[in-house]
Chains A and B, each alone.
Chain A
Amino acid sequence: MAELNISERQAGDVTILDLSGKITIGEGSVALRTAIRRMLEEGKKKILLNLAGVGYVDSSGIGELVSSYTAINKDGGQLKLLNLTQKIQDLLTITKLLTVFDVYESESEALNSFK
């Protein structure tokens, strides 16, 4: 089984990526990078990452979230985060990245924020 599974769905012009597994050094980080690159190639610039199923992120995974955020911003798009587990929220707090990412607990609120 893949370290990180990513499934894609569309809500208007927002692409929601439902992630489950681990975003860690190696396979997990690469899978996220590849998915974000594909989104940008397809012209999808409003991305909501649903992290409800992500139980573990390491420094490489955090780095990949940051890279995704900057790549999408650079392309004129927006990346937002949905449904962080407590552990991931803690990691983003101590790294002060909660001040960078736009984070939501409700999908409808997150979708509205793109409008």
Chain B
Amino acid sequence: MALKEVSPLFVTAETTELRLPSRIEAIDEAATAVARLVSRSGFSEDASFAIDMAVREAIANAVIHGNKFDESKFVEISVQRSPDSLEISVHDQGSGFNPEAVADPTEEENLLKSSGRGIFFVRNFMDEVYWLTPPEGGTTVRMIKRTNP
């Protein structure tokens, strides 16, 4: 089964790191791992839903737009739990990404577009979101959700 290749590199009570091949199945795998940490972090049901949604959208972006479904490329996810927040980083091996270039899907002229809402959901559902372009290449999205915003 394909998902057998997908295994946590390192798991403690505070941190989970995953390295997943660029497939749609990576979305569920990452979301499940994050949900395990979220369930122990004291988030409300709404906040847990928001984190799940943001993680799924970030992984989908990494697989589709970052790595372009190239299974020789990986999506790396790091989740760190601290007493007051959860920080999730999603890194792809794509050619880079400018979040400012993404059109606002809530503008009148974009309402009927069939795509372009993933980044909007990530921004909307997390307390802080940063897109980074590390020197080794690719894009990292760093998302933070505070336990008591």
| A interface residues, Cβ below 8 angstroms from B | 24-26, 58-60, 62-64, 66-67, 69-70, 87, 91, 94-97, 99-100
Closest to A99 in B: B111
Q: With A and B bound together, what is the CA distance between A33 and B124 in angstroms?
A: 27
Q: In the complex, which residues of chain B have a beta carbon less than 8 angstroms from the beta carbon of A99? A: 111
Q: Does chain A have a CB within 8 A of B81?
A: no
Closest to A68 in B: B114
In the complex, the answer to whether B117 meets A64 with C-beta atoms within 8 Å is no
Q: In the complex, which residues of chain B have a beta carbon less than 8 angstroms from the beta carbon of A24? A: 27, 56
Beta-carbon contacts under 8 Å, B2-42 to A: 24, 27
| B interface residues, Cβ below 8 angstroms from A | 24, 27, 49, 53, 56-57, 60, 64, 105-106, 111-115, 117-118, 120-121, 124
Q: With A and B bound together, what is the CA distance between A95 and B110 in angstroms?
A: 10
In the complex, the answer to whether A95 meets B117 with C-beta atoms within 8 Å is yes
Q: With A and B bound together, what is the CA distance between A104 and B52 in angstroms?
A: 27
Given contacts A58-B56, A59-B57, A95-B105, contact A70 B112 (CB under 8 A): yes
Which of A67, A69, A96, A100 has most B Cβ within 10 Å?
A: A96
Main secondary structure, interface of B, reads helix
In the complex, the answer to whether A59 meets B111 with C-beta atoms within 8 Å is no
7 closest pairs, A vs B, by CB? A59-B117, A63-B114, A59-B118, A67-B114, A96-B106, A26-B24, A63-B115
A95 in complex: contacting residue of B24, B114, B120, CB < 8 Å: B120
Q: With A and B bound together, what is the CA distance between A97 and B113 in angstroms?
A: 11
In the complex, the answer to whether A58 meets B115 with C-beta atoms within 8 Å is no
Q: In the complex, which residues of chain B have a beta carbon less than 8 angstroms from the beta carbon of A69? A: 112
Q: In the complex, which residues of chain A have a beta carbon less than 8 angstroms from the beta carbon of B117? A: 59, 62-63, 95
In the complex, the answer to whether A25 meets B27 with C-beta atoms within 8 Å is yes
24 A-B pairs within 8 Å (CB atoms) are namely A24-B27, A25-B24, A25-B60, A58-B53, A59-B60, A59-B117, A59-B120, A60-B60, A60-B118, A63-B113, A63-B115, A63-B117, A64-B114, A66-B111, A66-B112, A66-B113, A67-B114, A70-B112, A87-B49, A91-B121, A95-B117, A95-B120, A97-B111, A100-B112
In the complex, the answer to whether A94 meets B112 with C-beta atoms within 8 Å is no
